[in-house]
């Protein structure tokens, strides 16, 4: 893959600034440039943010300082150098191979660990009310599809409890295993709001084969509520809200929203 000149120049700048050596090919997403590197004898990942959302997430990784998340060795306003996790044991593989319940419990443990870390008032975070704007825009275009879920989301956002710093995108592929420190989070969005939101994403993951197994939503709902103490109906309402938001993102990006809409319909039925 040929990189844009600006990305090549950025990587070169950080190689010299932080004394890095290449340890794999670079990868570019819509939001960041990433490359495996070696720094001071450690296998690391250089992550250069291309948009503000990723910059927020990078700063949150710095704030967590390795507590429940991958350790950040070096950072500046745009980039972080974080430990490379092996990924030898993967949550999405566990879920696909009959250990879905255990994967959910691990995600709950990681979320609760992150929520317990003291945060700085200097952190720039996106409030959940702002995060849900896309759902409300989608409602204006398609009231039949989104009106009920958007109404539930509004009520939740106006009655938030137990608000805290949120990872914002906690799912099976954003929690990796470290032999030394166990399960650690990567790639946060950096949100602020009710802690229940954090758990809603896992019901739409790791893929449609697992997420749409009959009875799966109810089983994982019991596990999450038992492990966290969250009220069952409150959790269901956040699943409705999140799945509708996820569907609105997919539709906006021209992608298939069937999985999110199916979870949404299941959660609405359980609430009725």
Residues involved in catalysis: 169
Look at residues 58, 159, 166 and name the one whose alpha carbon lies nearest to residue 110.
Answer: 166
245: helix, strand or coil:
helix
**Strand 191-194 vs strand 126-127: parallel, antiparallel, or unpaired?**
parallel
What residues have CB less than 8 Å from 122, skipping those under 6 apart? none
Token readout for 44 is: 């690391």
Task: Look at phi and psi of residue 261 and say left if phi exceeds 0, alpha if psi is from -120 to 50, else beta.
Answer: alpha
Residue 141 has which token pair? 């275009």
Q: How many CB atoms lie within 10 A of CB 216?
A: 18
- Cα torsion at 103, 27, 71, 179 (round to 10°)? 50
Name the nearest CA neighbour of 203 among 156, 255, 268.
Answer: 268
Residue among 63, 200, 50, 186 nearest 124 (CA):
63
Angle at 200 between CA 189 and CA 132, to 5 degrees: 55
Decide if 36 contacts 23 (C-beta within 8 A).
Answer: yes
Q: DSSP per residue over 85-147, as a string?
A: P--SSBHHHHHHTT-HHHHHHHHHHHHHHHHHS---TT---EEHHHHTHHHHHHHHH-HHHHH
């Amino acid at each position: 893959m040929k990189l844009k000149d600006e990305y090549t120049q950025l990587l070169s700048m950080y190689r010299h600034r932080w004394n890095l050596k290449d340890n794999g090919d670079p990868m570019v997403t819509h939001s960041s440039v990433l490359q495996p590197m070696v720094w001071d004898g450690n296998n690391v990942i250089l992550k250069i943010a291309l948009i503000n959302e990723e910059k927020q997430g990078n700063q949150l990784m710095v704030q967590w300082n390795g507590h429940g998340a991958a350790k950040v060795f070096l950072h500046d306003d745009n980039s972080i150098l974080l430990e490379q996790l092996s990924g030898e044991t993967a949550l999405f593989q566990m879920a696909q191979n009959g250990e879905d319940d255990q994967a959910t419990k691990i995600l709950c443990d990681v979320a609760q660990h992150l929520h317990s870390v003291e945060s700085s008032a200097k952190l720039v975070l996106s409030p959940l009310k702002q995060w849900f704007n896309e759902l409300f825009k989608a409602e204006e275009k398609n009231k039949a599809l989104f009106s009920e879920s958007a109404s539930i989301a509004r009520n939740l956002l106006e009655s938030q409890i137990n608000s805290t710093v949120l990872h914002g995108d906690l799912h099976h592929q954003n929690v990796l295993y470290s032999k030394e420190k166990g399960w650690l989070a990567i790639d946060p969005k950096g949100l602020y709001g009710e802690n229940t939101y954090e758990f809603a994403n896992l019901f739409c993951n790791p893929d449609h084969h697992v997420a749409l197994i009959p009875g799966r939503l109810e089983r994982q709902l019991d596990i999450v509520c038992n492990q966290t103490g969250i009220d069952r109906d409150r959790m269901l309402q956040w699943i409705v809200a999140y799945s509708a938001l996820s569907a609105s993102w997919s539709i906006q990006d021209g992608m298939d929203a069937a999985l999110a809409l199916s979870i949404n319909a299941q959660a609405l039925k359980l609430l009725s």
